[in-house]
Chain A
């Protein structure tokens, strides 16, 4: 931590640099490409092999599920949705921060995103992969999972497009597809970099094929940047719609605890909150393992901590409003559902959720805590635990005591429930390890644009000020915002 220059304070004049360490174009290329090109470090195996083992557990638990059926899980009669849906909502939510960083911060011209957007987008794709597994396997009769799609079939049956569950199929699968395209388009110039540096024939061919023959033509950049902007503009409403639709799976049910209009914004805020926590966890590890402390700087971490503080407060506000509305509605079932949540058999889960999600981020009001690597790491893990429990609380505590006390029961997860949860982390981390090993972790072409020397009008703004305004000569319009912006 000490070796990096502090760029978390705004200087009196100008702006703090986004990346430190005195990089120029060449050394930046070197720093990003080197981890892709060197021999696999031991440290990578230390992350990869346990992840692979967890992925193996995922395979076994899915295989056993297919063989034996959903009876291997702890589901019972009122609680028909258990870990599978909890994990699904958790993983979809994780993905949202990636899109927020890559699309929404792009539209807001937050240039600090360039150091972390590649990894965050990769995280999105892998999280959506994990999420998509669960609705696929939890249906019980997996051989008819294709009924979820509008495919012509011999029964002449079609899905019910009025159901939020079918909206979900479209929202999540299209979200995954668009995220993948966005990520790949961003990767093309960097794949070309790896291609041009490749020493072996096989690398030239593999990276060359995926780089599509990119040669940095500005006539290409013109369309490329426009496509990127359009994708960002499309991904922004898309990401907001995805978790809104996920929340409607619950909100359109009449069950107390689910049947609330606050769900869409509440779910979206929670998704961004948990996703940023996951980005934080991953970036804290990656910047050390790949020695990128000067590219993924304290400023990036601090900005992420601020967003976690904001979204954490929004989530805390939503918890409060849920309680208030339950009381204010005068509906006894609603009131019972929320009293039961905080004081009933699942009170332990509720209070884990509140302490992790509401109390933990409050320490980020203090700058010292936002700049404390150890606390950032611990809090990111705590928030992820808390956000998993939020979904657990919503799903289980609402279901286990509904209108009729004769139906009540307690849901207890089994070994196989935990195996599929741990296994999904295996899938996620295996994919992320492979990504960090074989693809450039940082969007090099984009980071180059935030270096001061990338600005074709570098210094001209100053000249104009000194000369006392436009003297008409050679200075093309107002110089676009300085390279070190945001």
Chain B
């Protein structure tokens, strides 16, 4: 899996900022703020937290993950492959009569079928999660904010992206301050001196 690109639109050259980043003090404040951002009609935004805040997807108005469908498909695929392999081996590739039993002894194939089904489903869960989340994405404009290192410690953030139709450099920042943010800042979309890496997210 290669390095995935950001959701930055083609014309990103026209944006000075990636967007506005606001830090909130408590999970409760963050939850309320997410409800407000959702109700204000923003769509290109995100909450960034050190741990999954319980029920935040409701406050953000996110749809449930589609991952279970991927897991179901890969799990059934793994099980089917396992059953097919065993049947093919014992009926066609290497037919061997053992203690007078039939070649197609499907009950004996159950354990390996089950194990390969679990393997397929687990691979689907992990790789599917990576694909949905675009991991690995080693570089992200948010890592340019020195404050943002707190996101893996105690920082609870909301980031509204500049290409949201309702976004405005001044108004959006004021809106987030009004929701009780402790700090509000504009995150640059390009490094001021773009000679490598801005630090933060290696």
Name which of A156-164, A387-395, A415-423 contacts chain B.
A156-164
Is B76 among interface residues, defined by CB-CB distance under 8 A?
Answer: no
Between A and B, how many residue pairs show CB distances below 8 Å? 225
Is A374 among interface residues, defined by CB-CB distance under 8 A?
Answer: no
The count of chain A contact residues (Cβ–Cβ below 8 Å) is 74
CB pairs A–B below 8 angstroms (26 shown): A25-B50, A25-B154, A29-B154, A150-B85, A150-B89, A162-B98, A164-B111, A167-B115, A170-B116, A193-B153, A195-B201, A196-B201, A197-B153, A198-B202, A213-B136, A216-B48, A216-B157, A219-B133, A227-B128, A230-B125, A231-B122, A231-B126, A234-B121, A241-B114, A449-B52, A456-B56
Collect the chain A residues with CB atoms within 8 Å of residue B118's CB.
174, 178, 234, 237-238
Q: Report whether B153 and A26 are in contact in the complex, using a CB–CB cutoff of 8 Å.
A: yes
Tell me the bound Cα distance from A409 to B56 in angstroms. Answer: 67
Q: Report whether A220 and B125 are in contact in the complex, using a CB–CB cutoff of 8 Å.
A: no
Q: Could you tell me the distance in whole angstroms from the C-beta of A328 to the nearest C-beta in chain B?
A: 27
Is B172 among interface residues, defined by CB-CB distance under 8 A?
Answer: no
Which B-chain residue is minimally distant from A449 (CB atoms)? B51
Q: Report whether B27 and A456 are in contact in the complex, using a CB–CB cutoff of 8 Å.
A: yes
Q: Could you tell me the distance in whole angstroms from the C-beta of A118 to the nearest C-beta in chain B?
A: 14
Binary interface encoding of chain B residues 87-111 relative to chain A, with 1 for a CB under 8 A from any of its CBs, else 0: 0011001101010010001001101
Interface class of chain A by DSSP: helix
B residues apposed to A, CB below 8 Å? 26-28, 30-31, 46-60, 62, 64-65, 67-68, 71, 75, 85-86, 89-90, 93-94, 96, 98, 101, 105, 108-109, 111-112, 114-116, 118-119, 121-123, 125-126, 128-130, 132-133, 135-140, 142-143, 148-154, 157, 199-202
Q: Report whether B49 and A215 are in contact in the complex, using a CB–CB cutoff of 8 Å.
A: no
Question: Which of B28, B101, B112, B152 has a CB less than 8 Å from the CB of A216?
Answer: B152
Tell me the bound Cα distance from A188 to B148 in angstroms. Answer: 17
Collect the chain B residues with CB atoms within 8 Å of residue A241's CB.
111, 114-115
Within 8 A of B (CB), among A205-229: 205, 207-209, 212-227
Which B-chain residue is minimally distant from A202 (CB atoms)? B202
Question: Which of B27, B86, B132 has a CB less than 8 Å from the CB of A161?
Answer: B86
Question: Which of B52, B105, B125, B202 has a CB less than 8 Å from the CB of A231?
Answer: B125
Q: Report whether A189 and B55 are in contact in the complex, using a CB–CB cutoff of 8 Å.
A: no
Is A177 among interface residues, defined by CB-CB distance under 8 A?
Answer: yes
Within 8 A of B (CB), among A163-193: 164, 166-167, 170-171, 174, 177-178, 181-182, 184-185, 188-189, 192-193
Binary interface encoding of chain A residues 438-451 relative to chain B, with 1 for a CB under 8 A from any of its CBs, else 0: 00000001101100
Collect the chain B residues with CB atoms within 8 Å of residue A449's CB.
51-52, 54
Tell me the bound Cα distance from A157 to B93 in angstroms. Answer: 8
Tell me the bound Cα distance from A323 to B126 in angstroms. Answer: 45
Which A-chain residue is minimally distant from B111 (CB atoms)? A167
Q: Report whether B122 and A195 are in contact in the complex, using a CB–CB cutoff of 8 Å.
A: no
Is A464 among interface residues, defined by CB-CB distance under 8 A?
Answer: no
Question: Which of A198, A223, A446 has a CB less than 8 Å from the CB of B129?
Answer: A223
Q: Report whether A213 and B201 are in contact in the complex, using a CB–CB cutoff of 8 Å.
A: yes
The answer to whether A222 and B201 touch (CB under 8 A), given A158-B93, A178-B122, A196-B153, is no
Question: Which of A182, A192, A455 has a CB less than 8 Å from the CB of B54?
Answer: A455
Question: Which of A238, A448, A476 has a CB less than 8 Å from the CB of B51?
Answer: A448
The answer to whether A227 and B126 touch (CB under 8 A), given A161-B89, A219-B62, A446-B51, is yes
Is A245 among interface residues, defined by CB-CB distance under 8 A?
Answer: yes
Collect the chain A residues with CB atoms within 8 Å of residue B96's CB.
160
Collect the chain B residues with CB atoms within 8 Å of residue A164's CB.
111
Tell me the bound Cα distance from A227 to B65 in angstroms. Answer: 9
Q: Could you tell me the distance in whole angstroms from the C-beta of B122 to the nearest C-beta in chain A?
A: 5
The answer to whether A196 and B152 touch (CB under 8 A), given A213-B137, A237-B118, is yes
Q: Report whether B202 and A189 are in contact in the complex, using a CB–CB cutoff of 8 Å.
A: no
Q: Report whether A217 and B108 are in contact in the complex, using a CB–CB cutoff of 8 Å.
A: no
Q: Could you tell me the distance in whole angstroms from the C-beta of B95 to the nearest C-beta in chain A?
A: 10
The answer to whether A225 and B52 touch (CB under 8 A), given A196-B200, A218-B62, A219-B62, is yes
Tell me the bound Cα distance from A198 to B143 in angstroms. Answer: 14
The answer to whether A171 and B152 touch (CB under 8 A), given A213-B138, A216-B49, A455-B27, is no
Is A282 among interface residues, defined by CB-CB distance under 8 A?
Answer: no
Collect the chain A residues with CB atoms within 8 Å of residue B89's CB.
150, 158-159, 161
Q: Could you tell me the distance in whole angstroms from the C-beta of A442 to the nearest C-beta in chain B?
A: 13
Is A320 among interface residues, defined by CB-CB distance under 8 A?
Answer: no
Q: Could you tell me the distance in whole angstroms from the C-beta of A435 to the nearest C-beta in chain B?
A: 20
Tell me the bound Cα distance from A171 to B139 in angstroms. Answer: 38
Collect the chain A residues with CB atoms within 8 Å of residue B199's CB.
204
Collect the chain B residues with CB atoms within 8 Å of residue A174's CB.
115-116, 118-119
The answer to whether A29 and B153 touch (CB under 8 A), given A215-B201, A221-B49, A231-B125, is yes
Q: Could you tell me the distance in whole angstroms from the C-beta of A125 to the nearest C-beta in chain B?
A: 14
Is A345 among interface residues, defined by CB-CB distance under 8 A?
Answer: no
Is A6 among interface residues, defined by CB-CB distance under 8 A?
Answer: no
Q: Could you tell me the distance in whole angstroms from the C-beta of B56 to the nearest C-beta in chain A?
A: 5
Collect the chain A residues with CB atoms within 8 Å of residue B114's CB.
237, 241
Is A458 among interface residues, defined by CB-CB distance under 8 A?
Answer: yes
Q: Could you tell me the distance in whole angstroms from the C-beta of B54 to the nearest C-beta in chain A?
A: 5
